[in-house]
Amino acid sequence: MQIDFESISTYGEFFIIEPQAASLLEQERKLLEIIRPAAVVFRARNFLFDQPYPVWLQAYRELLHDIQQAVGHRDLLICIDHEGGRVVRPPLPITRFPYLCKWKSLGPKIAEAMAIELTSLGINVNFAPVADVNSNPLNPVIGPRAAAETVAEVIAETVPICEAFMRSGILPCAKHFPGHGDTSKDSHYELPLVAKSKAELMQTELAPFQALIKAGVPLIMTAHILYPQLDEHLPATFSSRILRRLLREEMGFKGLVVSDGMGMHSVSSTLNTSSTAAAGIAAGVDLYCMAGDSLTLETTLKMAQDLQASVLNQELSRELVADRRTGLRKFRRLARQHPVSELPRAVFDSHAALADMADPSGEYRHFQYRPDKGHDTAGKK
């Protein structure tokens, strides 16, 4: 297929967009018709939390339909962050499963239950599981989101979870490559640094990702973290040494590389630089996740325009863009499209029982929507 390098939509396909509210704004509709992104991600702000299930579900169905109509893709990647614990976006009765660290042998069953609920929302990509090793007790952001504190346990638990998601119609995305478990800073707010040698990383942080790659994980999300022993100057999201040389060439990953949210403070300041969009694509990013309270579709349009300028100015190879776009389109055809549908009460009752089996304390039930939590829109009351 001939590629129109003069069209913004050629570059818009490299982005995951996030709507601003529970209904599509007219300005958003106009911008989506121009950008035509490959994917959308939903957060808590895209659901009517004060309405009963049939009402919020219908509003969400209309939002998704309006996005699909504006974008014009039949094979849209429809994404969500749905880990369990505090990282849950839709309202009740969508099940509040406990943190990943509580799943243990129930992991595949919980993943299958999650998939039933997510596919009922039309979701086909879940930014989970967390593949980080919870090796630093001072880590402010991973902790119980990780499966375990040892490499062997993380591998033993995350591989079957990914396999369960895949056979249930959900494409899982392992995160945060090359590892966020041994940081003392939260990349939502500042840029962490992990000073481990490559050999140390291979033994700990990278081992779960290698196992998941071997198992066929289709997507991997980058970490906005500096690893000076791998790249002295650039965080993983913008490092070809980490994404192309290490992840692609040495570890053999063939799927899609997704950036962590570009609204996170560790990288959001770079969005003002015109070379940022090209830097990530050149490094190996396939999809920029344009999620964050500070980001709008205007931000995405600017990045798409910056990417276009880099190609037209011959700063970024047309061949690279064409190859990456072809790969994206092939991948999107693998994603199943699910109709939005209301689930019976019995399904949620059985899933609640499963959640109780994973965490009999019931502590997970306290994780509910908090509109004042910024990036973490589901927090503990």
Q: How far apart are CA 329 and CA 125, in angstroms?
A: 15
Cis peptide before 144 (omega within 30 of 0): no
Catalytic residues: 260
What is the DSSP secondary structure assignment for residue 323, as one 8-state letter? H
Percentages (nearest 5) of helix, strand, coil residues in the chain: 45, 10, 45
Helix extents (H) in the chain: 8-12, 26-35, 53-71, 107-119, 151-167, 198-203, 206-214, 240, 265-268, 276-283, 297-312, 318-332, 345-358
Q: How far apart are CA 88 and CA 378, in angstroms?
A: 6
Provide the CA 32 distance to its chain's centre, in angstroms: 20
Where is 174: in which H helix or E strand? strand 171-177
SS (H, E, C) 194-235: CCCCHHHHHHCCHHHHHHHHHCCCCEEEECCCECCCCCCCCE
Q: How far apart are CA 309 and CA 287, in angstroms?
A: 18
Contacts (Cβ under 8 Å, ≥6 apart) of 281: 14, 307, 316, 320, 321, 324
Q: How far apart are CA 334 and CA 217, in angstroms?
A: 13
Q: How far apart are CA 206 and CA 215, in angstroms?
A: 14
Residue type at position 277: A
